[in-house]
Amino acid sequence: MRVAVIGASGNVGTSLLRALGDEPAVESVVGVARRIPDVSFPKVEWRAADVATSPLAPILSGADAVVHLAWQIQPGRDRRQVHEANVTGSERVFTAAAAAGARSLVYASSVGAYAPGPKDRTVDESWPTTGIATSFYSRHKAEVERILDSFEGEHPGIRVVRLRPGLIFKREAASGIRRLFAGPLLPGSVVRPELLPLLPLPARLRFQAVHSLDVGDAYRRALVGDARGPFNIAAEPVLDREELGRVFGARPVPAPERLLRAAAAASYRLRLQPSEPGWLDMGLQVPLMDVTRAREELGWRPRRSSVDALQDLLAGLREGAGIDTPPLEPGGAGPARLRELLSGIGARTG
């Protein structure tokens, strides 16, 4: 099998490339990224392309399967640019995959595609994917789900799989995640349990996470199997106030949602951090997911808990960990932080 991975240099992409290196059913991989990284993986040939503007069919020519992972979160203040990359870019990838004759298409959806849902029980993949209205990330994920619905109707001969994971963490993605969501003003040295005696969080903030390497394995299984349709991907336990308190060694205390949202909005407006308050809205509103289908039809079981994944990320934040790819490059001190500041903290790419 020849596989093309769009967005191969990011958090999930690098985990998938690692998984495919040990997969005997995969003969070769084309790793597609906007900027070719310095790191190499077994079986992988790198190609540079921008999903919003580059000709994609020639790059995908000869691929038996296409995995679409590319997604732009920053510059979040430029909604035109991120919509072009995320929504228009995804549609261009799907069209190019069909034109190239790919037999399988695996798409990176998200828990963020779901409509508001329960926090006291889990929902399966039939829950509506209409998104959270106040989150551009969620709206874009929901919009691409509709595009993919139409694509499946027009191309019944192409096997389409959608994975909808929770939050995805690993140590090597720490510097990239900090740049995307916290910005240059968060020192990694402060992410220590002993510095957080109290943890103010709203009761409704209950979410799911999964280790990136386990997500990479889920994509591998989706590629080499014959499953179709959507799959929820998450590890146990659910991360709530009590569980987060144990991770941080802090006492969880109630915090009003309105107050936290106002603080998030103010810090975003003042350009102290790059995450719009819609990210908090999404965390408070998306449902908890049932992963039975992934277990039964993909044979997928996470090897690491959600706590393991979060602790791996926190260790990476303290160390400035990363990989030698543009999205995940390590470090973030000195000149690197200055470049982030000069980028406008979410206003444009650095």
What is the per-residue pLDDT across 130-145, written as a single tens digit (0 to 9) for each? 999 999 999 999 999 9
Q: Which two tokens stand for residue 130?
A: 């209409």
- The HSE-up count of residue 216 (CA atoms within 13 Å, CB side) is 25
- Distances from the Cα of 171 to the Cα of 7, 310, 315, angstroms: 19, 9, 7
Q: In terms of C-beta density within 10 A (0-12 exposed, 13-18 middle, 19 or more buried), how is residue 138 classed?
A: buried
Distance CA 306, CA 239 (A): 7
Distance CA 168, CA 177 (A): 10
Q: What letters, b where the CB count within 10 A reaches 16 and e where it falls short, cover 226-237?
A: ebeebbbbbbee
- Residue spans of the domains in the chain: they are 2-167+210-233, 169-207+238-286+304-342
pLDDT at 291: 98
Relative to beta strand 2-6, strand 209-211 is unpaired
Distance CA 254, CA 265 (A): 20
pLDDT at 189: 65
- The answer as to CATH 3.40.50.720 being correct for domain 2-167+210-233 is yes
Q: Which two tokens stand for residue 166?
A: 């929770």
Q: List all residues 6 or more positions away from 65 whose beta carbon is below 8 Å from its beta carbon.
A: 1, 2, 3, 4, 102, 103, 104, 105, 106, 223
Distance CA 130, CA 282 (A): 12
- Report the predicted TM-score, pTM, of the whole model to 2 decimal places: 0.95
Q: What letters, b where the CB count within 10 A reaches 16 and e where it falls short, cover 294-309?
A: beebbebebebbbbbb
pLDDT at 306: 98
Residues of the chain with pLDDT under 70: 188-190, 193-194, 332-344, 348-350
User: Cα–chain-centroid distance for residue 224?
Assistant: 21
Distance CA 187, CA 332 (A): 9
pLDDT at 340: 65
